Amino acid sequence: MVKKVITGNSAAAYGVKLARVQVVSAYPITPQTTVVEKLADFVANGELNARFVNVESEHSALAALISASLGGARTFTATSAHGLALMHEMMHWAAGARTPVVMVNVNRAMGPPWNIWAEMTDSIAQRDTGWIQFYGESNQEVLDTMIQLYRICEDKEVMLPGMICEDAFYLSHTVLPVDIPEQEDVDRFLPPFESAYKLDFDNPVSIGSLSMPHQWYMELRYKIAESMENARKKIVEVDREFGKIFGRSYSGLVENYRGDDADLLLICAGTMASTAKDVVDEMRNEGVKAGLLRLRVFRPFPNAEIVNLVQNAKVIGVADRSISFGNQGPFFTEIKGALYGKIPTKLLKNYIVGIGGRDVTTNTLKSIFRNMASIKDHGLDEEVTWVDLKR
Amino acid sequence: MAKPTIPTEEYMLSGHMACLGCGAPLAMRYLLKALGKRTVVSIPACCWAVIPGVFPYTNLKVPLVYTAFEVTGASISGLRAAIDARGIKDVNVVGFAGDGGTADIGIQALSGAVERGENIIYMCYDNEAYMNTGIQRSSLTPFGAWTTTTPVGKTKFWQKTQKKNMVEIMVAHRIPYAATVSVAYPEDFINKVRKAAGIPGPKYIHAFAPCPTGWRMPPEKTIEIARLATDSCVFPIYEVEYGKYKITRKVVNKKPVADYLKMQGRFSHLGEEEMKQIQEYVDREWELLLKKEEFTKEW
Amino acid sequence: MAFKSVKDVPLGPYCHLESTLINKTGEWRNMRPVLDRSKCIRCYICWKFCPDVAIKILPDGNIEHDYEFCKGCGICANECPKKAITMVREE
Ligand SMILES: Cc1ncc(C[n+]2csc(CCOP(=O)(O)OP(=O)(O)O)c2C)c(N)n1
Ligand code: SF4
């Protein structure tokens, strides 16, 4: 095993290489660019034996990969924000055609005004497209999840596309030590791709034709929902098996950090979780029973896991690095939905943080825990608070 | 007894959903006769997204990948990449799109594929409007035509722009091979597709495919009108091979454009003045084509 | 390939060739092409231009309309150089 000090984007590129991706297609956008640049280097140097389709847009990148996947190739793309938004139509198409395309999305805010910094609105907006969604906390996790994702997405009972999100700059451009797994171990873990669709000239099959209201569009959509359900257990199984081979695993869909006996339980995703872990430790030292749940997977949504893990909490805080205008933070509404009727009513609070890349510092998170402590003693102040907003 | 002048093997079956007398199935029928079974076709939204029938049936004896309206060029690039990556040999990768999917919403992906030099054949079947959605204008709808988005109305709102020249746009990409074909000339159609299949890199073929429904004419007139389009020089039949122009169907007794226009309800509102204007335009374009052929003769 | 329930439906929208031949498009027909074989010179022009592949070349070289699929567009009658095909109204 080689240890390298690399960025999240570089780690993603190593993931592509180790997964022996056959067709890469992507279009540059900050802060994703270094993923594709690195891949282009790999291909140019003969280190990665893949076709590199230098398309003219993100929309075409994904369209090309869907067809390449149907053609039987393992595929990869990377994008961010406006690029992901442009792909939206093809996001649905990838799931509908049952093509296990894997993507790295660097979470970045949407314009206007232009902003290239971290925010999760871009990927959250793709919630209903039928993609599996992971959110990474470290560069190592990005690389490891890439390899896991191919296994999950290409599973015969899943056959859906998947993405791993990295917070802009916090992961994409920050160097951290990363263990690069051995190729032979990855090969053992990840068999070659086999499409569910066969490009067979003797028994030709068409894919994607018109399907009517009375038959079978609804059934085909039900199949996608069913496969998403199958993905839940696959994610856990694959993570466990990965741990056995590589010595690292990520506790499936939700990571529980000192949450079991926590009075004040914060739920969040991405890099702010690692800052929050430090804050939890500090709070614990001060005698506050703080804890953290990190959402590793947003689709399929870990409803049951969350219900199990929040049982003992007195106050649940949800930190969203995005906002659904006209409602609340998207994680918050989903978590409320997950809990409804499953546990006695709890104090629930939504914190909108880090919009447009505003730093979520230890102070930000401490103020959140302090607010949760006050809610525990005095009851809910307001349901949603924009933290660090200049008032 | 004469012999059939085109291959008898069929790769497109009966029972499809095209309207009576539609030219579009003929384009597919000839295309596949030329290419044979080791062919994969990508089709975006257009009449041909409906013609093959509804899930779980198909009328093509070759693999078919449906794609979104604007991405035929990207889809065939991806198919080619996968086929190459897997080391599969001797496969024709074909995009088959309408005029809207080619000249309007899909022109970016097509331009990208051609510019990258992808080893593909792209066929546009041109029925001169968005027919699938009910006869709306495209940038290939000719001057003067009625469509549902260029209705005649009280203000002569009909199509006011000339048809975009897709072959020229492709030639401007320095494409190895671009050609026009027509459903009225199946032998020429098949020869050109075969020729294209033998040339590496991107190939663009523009197929004239009348739509009786949208052109407001009787279904039995499809071939006749296509022939007249060429005989009146409205739709010349030619090819451009590595920049060299060749008119592959000589026009000896040039017919008046008015003969062509008068057969179709979509032009029924036009008066002498407009017909004259169209005739002048067609003459000029034809002259230009002859000059290009002359100019590139020695290439 | 008639499916009965969601259990029979494949994972994705994969369509097999089993085929559109179940669509008897002959039912669309208002006008019926009728061939006068005595006039037919077997040039196969009608066969060549049929958008519905509904004209068959028989082993003896004669042609025959396939009324199961012929939609009655009339291209064959229009193109026949010998006027051997006439369109008659369906009952
Ligand atoms: C992004 C998008 N916009 C619009 C449509 C609706 N649409 C489907 S087919 C079509 C017109 C197709 O026209 P053309 O490409 O000329 O093919 P034709 O139907 O004439 O054969 C349109 C507008 C769509 N499917 N996707
Ligand atoms: S609308 Fe026109 S192009 Fe479409 S199937 Fe009918 S005749 Fe053919």
Question: What would the pLDDT profile of A289-323 be if each residue is shown by its tens digit?
Answer: 999 999 999 999 999 999 999 999 999 999 999 99
Whether residue A1 has pLDDT greater than 80: no
Kindly provide the residue ranges of all beta strands, DSSP E only, lying in chain A, ordered along the sequence.
Answer: 2-6, 23-25, 51-53, 75-80, 102-107, 132-135, 162-167, 176-180, 205-207, 254-257, 264-268, 290-295, 297-299, 315-320, 347-352, 384-386
pLDDT band at B90 (very low <50, low <70, confident <90, very high): very high
* Cα-to-centroid distance, B129 and ligand 2 (Å): 10
Over residues A141-164, the mean pLDDT reads: 98
For A165-182, what is each residue's pLDDT tens digit? Answer: 999 999 999 999 999 999
Tell me if A205 and C16 make a contact (CB, 8 A cut-off). Answer: yes
**Which among A246, A278, A295 is the end of a domain?**
A246
Whether A391 maps to a domain, the answer reads no
Q: What is the pLDDT of residues A237-258, one digit of tens each?
A: 999 999 999 999 999 999 999 9
Please give the distance, rounded to the nearest whole angstrom, from the Cα atom of residue C72 to the centre of ligand 2: 15
Nearest residue to B56 via CA among A25, A22, A375, A211? A211
User: How much is the pLDDT for C16?
Assistant: 79
CATH number at A317 reads 3.40.50.920
In terms of DSSP bridges, do strands B177-182 and B238-241 run parallel, antiparallel, or are they unpaired? antiparallel
Number of B to C CB contacts under 8 A, please give it: 125
Say if residue A50 is in the same domain as residue A12. Answer: yes
Does C12 contact A98 at a Cβ distance shorter than 8 Å?
yes
Considering the domain architecture, whether residues A72 and A214 belong to the same structural domain is answered as yes
Are A239 and A265 in a shared domain? no
Decide if C13 contacts C28 (C-beta within 8 A).
Answer: no
Distance, CA A249 to ligand 1 centroid (Å)? 47
Question: What are the tens digits of pLDDT across the range B119-167?
Answer: 999 999 999 999 999 999 999 999 999 999 999 999 999 999 999 999 9
Range of the domain at A302: 254-386
Same domain flag for A10 and A120: yes
> Across-strand partners of A267?
A293, A318
Residue that finishes a domain, picked among A212, A246, A280? A246
Domain finish residue from A246, A270, A292: A246
The full set of domain ranges for chain B reads 24-295
Q: Which amino acid is at A65?
A: L
Query: What is the atom index within ligand 1 of the atom nearest the CA of B140?
Result: 16
Q: How far is C14 from chain A (nearest CA, A)?
A: 5
SS3 B295: helix
Collapsed DSSP state (helix, strand, coil) of residue C85: strand
Question: Do the chains contact at A212 and B71, CB–CB below 8 Å?
Answer: no
3-state secondary structure A315-330: EEEEEECCCCCCCCCH
Q: Is the CB of B99 under 6 A from ligand 1?
A: yes
A241 & A181 share domain: yes
What is the nearest CA distance from C26 to chain A, expressed in angstroms?
21
Query: Which residues in chain A touch residue C17, judged by CB atoms under 8 angstroms apart?
Result: 203-205
pLDDT band, very low/low/confident/very high, at A350 (cuts 50, 70, 90): very high
Ligand 2 mean position, distance from CA C51 (Å): 11
Rounded to two decimals, what is the model's pTM? Answer: 0.97
- In a shared domain, residues A172 and A295: no
CATH code of the domain in which A177 resides: 3.40.50.970
Contact status, residue B138 vs residue B99, Cβ threshold 8 Å: yes
Q: Which of B38, B54, B73 sits opposite A212 (nearest CB)?
A: B54
- Residue A143 sits in the same domain as residue A277: no
Q: Which ligand approaches the C-alpha of residue B136 most closely?
A: 1
pLDDT digits (tens, 9 = 90+) for C15-61: 877 666 889 999 999 999 999 999 999 999 999 999 999 999 999 99
Flag if B15 and C23 touch (Cβ within 8 Å). Answer: yes
Cα gap A50→C86, rounded to integer Å? 59
Return the pLDDT at C15.
Answer: 86
pLDDT mean over A105-117:
98
Over 70: is that where the pLDDT of B282 sits? yes
Amino acid letter at A39? Answer: L
Mean per-residue pLDDT, B252-280: 97
Whether residue A131 sits in one domain with residue A242: yes
What's the structural domain count of chain A?
A: 2
Which residue is closest to A94 within chain B, CA to CA?
B67
Residue A328 lies in a domain: yes
Q: Is C88's Cβ below 8 Å from some Cβ in B?
A: no
Q: Which of residues 222-261 of A touch C (CB under 8 A)?
A: 222-223, 227
What are the residue ranges of helices labelled H in B36-102? Answer: 72-85, 99
Between CA A203 and CA A99 the distance in angstroms is 20
- Same structural domain, A97 and A240: yes
Query: Would you say A94 and A25 are in contact if contact means Cβ atoms under 8 Å apart?
Result: no
Chain C residues with at least one Cβ partner in A under 8 Å: 3, 5-6, 9, 11-17
Both structure tokens of A288: 């506050």
Q: Is the Cβ–Cβ distance between B225 and B143 less than 8 Å?
A: no
* ipTM of the prediction: 0.97
Same domain for A200 and A77: yes
Q: What share of chain C is helix, strand, coil (3-state, %, to 5)?
A: 20, 20, 60
Helix (H) or strand (E) holding A302: none
Pick the residue of C24, C62, C75 with the most B CBs within 10 A to test the interface with B by mutation: C75
CA neighbours within 13 Å on the CB side: how many for B64? 33
Q: Which CATH number fits domain B24-295: 3.40.50.970, 3.30.1360.70, 3.40.50.300, 3.40.50.1100?
A: 3.40.50.970
Residue A216 lies in a domain: yes
Q: Are A221 and A267 within one domain? A: no
Q: What is the pLDDT of residue C20?
A: 66
Question: Which pLDDT score is estimated for C1?
Answer: 59
Ligand with an atom nearest the CA of residue B68: 1
Over residues A129-146, mean pLDDT: 98
CA distance A268 to A271: 9
Q: Which residue of A has its CA nearest to C15?
A: A206
Determine if ligand 1 sits within 6 Å of the CB of residue B119.
no
Chain segment B4-44, per-residue pLDDT in tens: 999 999 999 999 999 999 999 999 999 999 999 999 999 99
- Are A283 and A321 in a shared domain? yes
3-class DSSP assignment, residue B98 = strand
- Amino acid identity at B127: N
